[in-house]
Amino acid sequence: MDTMHGFLVPTYTLHDFDDGEECKVVRMIFQMSRVPYEFKHVHRDDYILEDYPFYALPTLEMNERKYGSVLSICRHLAWRYNLSGKTAYDDAQVDDIAEKVFEVRMKIKNWIDHIEHAADHACDEECTEEIAPRILTNTLFPCLERMLKSAASCWLVGHTMTWVDLLVACLVNPIIYHRPKLLQDFPLLYLHNEKVAHHDDLVGFLYHVRTRKFQDKK
């Protein structure tokens, strides 16, 4: 009985560094689902790698078991709290988009830290205004814009928000705030981020996105 109750009503502890940037999408899922959780701040100078799966953060502790992949954490929580795709096909498409977005996020992470003026950030060749913007405007942004154009609603998959909308918003939002010109050719992606950023349940998670009108291209 206790095991079944723990499965149905788990307790959560989310472990991440003080800035909590990498686990933002997980916290947004909790917020959207109105699920309580504890956030455990981890200091970069005194944490033990072996305490966490794959020696990495963020980690979600659920009923004393630890899970250490952002995407797997998101998938599980989305499954529990109705933020997955509504059909098997839709869920596969959510996963497909999420994998690519997260891959790009990892490639340009240092550039994101650079434009965000993150603490303890060390610049390298990826911090130039060439490599990361090119990856975004030549590859990822056109793909997302195309998907939004052919989508059945204002969301990337299906007729309701899924966790991949949150994941995309976490990547795009600081870029809109610091480098808005990179979105000038991607109006649907901009409007998608505006919708997520202005969502009543997500106030304070993302930078405010000002309402913007785009001219139709002829």
The proportion of the chain whose per-residue pLDDT surpasses 90, expressed as a percent, equals 69
Specify the pLDDT at position 5: 45
DSSP 64: T
Intervals of CATH 3.40.30.10 along the chain: 12-81
Average pLDDT over residues 184-196: 97
Locate 138 and state its tokens: 């030549």
Specify the pLDDT at position 215: 59
Q: CA angle at residue 170 from 38 to 196, to 5 degrees?
A: 95
Average pLDDT over residues 186-195: 97
- pLDDT top residue among 123 and 4: 123
pLDDT band at 217 (very low <50, low <70, confident <90, very high): very low
Intervals of CATH 1.20.1050.10 along the chain: 88-198
Rounded CA separation 60/149 (Å): 35
Query: What average pLDDT does the chain have?
Result: 90
- In this structure, are residues 174 and 4 in contact, taking their beta carbons and an 8 Å threshold? no
Locate 188 and state its tokens: 């649907």
Specify the pLDDT at position 54: 83
- In this structure, are residues 146 and 153 in contact, taking their beta carbons and an 8 Å threshold? no
pLDDT of 2 > 60? The answer is no
- Burial tier of 39 (Cβ tally within 10 Å: 0-12, 13-18, 19+): middle
Specify the pLDDT at position 136: 97
**Element holding 14 (H helix, E strand):** strand 12-17
Rounded CA separation 51/38 (Å): 17
Bond into 142 cis (ω within 30): no
Distance from the Cα of residue 71 to its chain's centroid: 9
pLDDT band at 213 (very low <50, low <70, confident <90, very high): confident
CATH number for 88-198 (one of 1.20.1050.10, 3.30.420.40, 3.40.1440.10, 1.25.40.850): it is 1.20.1050.10
Instruction: Give pTM, 2 decimals.
Output: 0.91
For residue range 121-173, what is the model confidence (pLDDT) as tens digits?
677 776 778 899 999 999 999 999 999 999 999 999 999 999 999 999 999 99
Specify the pLDDT at position 218: 37
For residue range 13-60, what is the model confidence (pLDDT) as tens digits?
999 988 778 899 999 999 999 999 999 999 888 778 788 888 889 999
Specify the pLDDT at position 7: 53
Is 12-81 in CATH node 3.90.1570.10?
no
